[in-house]
Structure 1
């Protein structure tokens, strides 16, 4: 005595449409998740400075990379900064287009170790902004940031003495 199991085709259609909808929603949902939790080294954007500055310093290393299809010179003005936790600091990145044509570019970023991303607060950043750089033009981009004092309270980040902020520059495809 075997029973046959019948599936209503309407349910299959709803299931397929739901899966397609979730696939389109997954990118913005993942982006939101990363911004809220700092997952993957995603830094936080803020418009207010820290009210607390600790008497403890932390080293911030700066790194800049370009995609292989760009002939650009992209580098931080300095490679290392030592700041008090909670203190606002700024770093300048220099971008030079060494090509004979103007190029549209965009940058992304992350922190290392990734767990500190939620404590790295950016007040000003050039990331995710499309920029057009003319041939042989040198532009200066500024990042203003601080490290949230809560970093010393989190057991996962309590002993962190150094953070790397890394930017990658990519060509924007029209």
Structure 2
């Protein structure tokens, strides 16, 4: 093999290795949004579904025609370590008819002397219930800014999809836990 052919071959291997490394770096950055999208679509890892009011109306009609059973919903509230808020549900449990819209209210209070913007992450347990727990409106969809000493009610409008009744993995589920954790948002409070 000549020097020119060897140099050309080495250049191709180097370019291929560089492109492979850049591709892997790109996948590393895309992994979090892709995983989040996967969880939202499938309900994997207890990720709840986002619904519209018309989705809720359809679910309610399906539930009425099926004579849907009831489900206990437990509400859980947590704060990231160092977050100077008080955060709790107004009601710890509720019993809802599957397919019917219901509302839960959480209360948050900023106990600090400065404005704080918080962002809520959420989860549903058991995990298989995430595909059927639909939120129509939620404080968790946007960041929340509380002024010093400010206390606010934060509602969540939700329903449990009647399709849960057809899932054998949901057969023995009697209670769903909706859990939120508030974190201080990155950057200055707005």
TM-score of the superposed pair, with normalisation by structure 1: 0.93
Correspondences of 1:116-127 after superposition (within 5 Å): 116-127=129-140
- 1:124·1:145 contact (CA, 8 Å) conserved in 2? yes
Matching residue of 1:71: 84
Correspondences of 1:18-167 after superposition (within 5 Å): 18-47=23-52, 48-49=55-56, 50=59, 51-53=61-63, 54-167=67-180
* Superposition CA RMSD, Å: 1.4
Distance in structure 2 (CA, Å) of the matches to 1:116 and 1:133:
31
Distance in structure 1 (CA, Å) of the matches to 2:158 and 2:118:
22
Higher alpha-carbon deviation: 139-148 or 6-15: 6-15
**Secondary structure of 2:159's partner?**
strand
Q: How far is the alpha carbon of 1:150 from its aligned partner?
A: 0.9
5+ residue gaps, structure 1: 1-5
CA radius of gyration, larger in: 2
- 1:97·1:134 contact (CA, 8 Å) conserved in 2? yes
Distance in structure 2 (CA, Å) of the matches to 1:108 and 1:129:
10
Distance in structure 1 (CA, Å) of the matches to 2:106 and 2:125:
18
Higher alpha-carbon deviation: 24-33 or 45-54: 45-54
Q: How far is the alpha carbon of 1:128 from its aligned partner?
A: 4.0
Larger proportion of helix: 2
Q: How far is the alpha carbon of 1:110 from its aligned partner?
A: 0.3
Q: How far is the alpha carbon of 1:95 from its aligned partner?
A: 0.3
**Secondary structure of 1:160's partner?**
coil
5+ residue gaps, structure 2: 1-9
> After TM superposition, where is structure 1 displaced by more than 6 Å over at least 4 residues in a row?
none
Distance in structure 1 (CA, Å) of the matches to 2:169 and 2:146:
40
- 2:128·2:169 contact (CA, 8 Å) conserved in 1? yes
Matching residue of 1:3: none
